[in-house]
Copies of this chain bind each other. A is one copy, B any other.
Amino acid sequence: MAATLTVYGMDDTPRGKLLSAAARLFRVQGYDRTTVRDIAAAVGIQSGSIFHHFASKEDILFAVTMEVIRFNTERMRLATEGVADPEQRLRGLIRAELQSIVGDTQEAMIVLVRDWRCLADDKQKEALAVRAVYEGYWMQALNDLQVEGRLDADPMVMRRLINGMTSWTSNWFDADGSLDMDGLTEVILQRAVTANGGTSA
């Protein structure tokens, strides 16, 4: 089992502990099936006490969502900053996204993909706006790769296909299996770049 989330807002304050517990419960049973009583019990308080920290149950989901998006956007920035070669940048992005989905933030990422439609429309939009920065790193790398003639398909379509491959790993990837995360990164990368290019470092 991966270590507990260490995303910004999820520290050992009461609020942070609630967020971590909620993320785990949301992952295991889904947002709707998780009751505020479940969350309260997980951190050892009464159900009513939760509303001292959050305005509503949906607010907890929203907080989890935003924290994780922000955390992973920063992760994508770190994965690409100072890297000139677009293929290397793409490799870093794939590796980082896999890390999010089957690694340290997997609890919350699964919730993000599955339950984000439980949020009210305006909160969905707010989340999408922040997410746009995240996608920006991807499009930058893929567009650059295309300019060099090393991309195998339309950048936007390619991003969607990669996103599908990485997201789906939460359903099958086994960290103890014969294929590790670096190996999987290479396999996915080879789906995107043309075989001819030998320029990569």
| A residues apposed to B, CB below 8 Å | 30, 32-33, 114, 117-118, 152-154, 157, 160-161, 163-169, 171-172, 179, 184, 187-188, 190-191, 195
The interface residues of chain B lying within 8 Å CB-to-CB of A32 are: 30, 32-33
A187 nearest CB across to chain B (Å): 5
Candidates B30, B191, B195; contact of A161 at CB < 8 Å: B191
The interface residues of chain B lying within 8 Å CB-to-CB of A167 are: 164, 168
Q: How far is the CA of A42 from the CA of B117 in the complex (A)?
A: 22
A81 nearest CB across to chain B (Å): 27
Q: So how many copies of this chain end up in the complex?
A: 2
Candidates B30, B161, B190, B195; contact of A188 at CB < 8 Å: B161
The interface residues of chain B lying within 8 Å CB-to-CB of A30 are: 32, 117-118
* A178 closest partner in B (C-beta): B154
The interface residues of chain B lying within 8 Å CB-to-CB of A118 are: 30, 33
Candidates B160, B172, B191; contact of A160 at CB < 8 Å: B172
The interface residues of chain B lying within 8 Å CB-to-CB of A168 are: 160-161, 163-165, 167-168
A24 nearest CB across to chain B (Å): 15
A3 nearest CB across to chain B (Å): 24
* A168 closest partner in B (C-beta): B164
* A172 closest partner in B (C-beta): B160
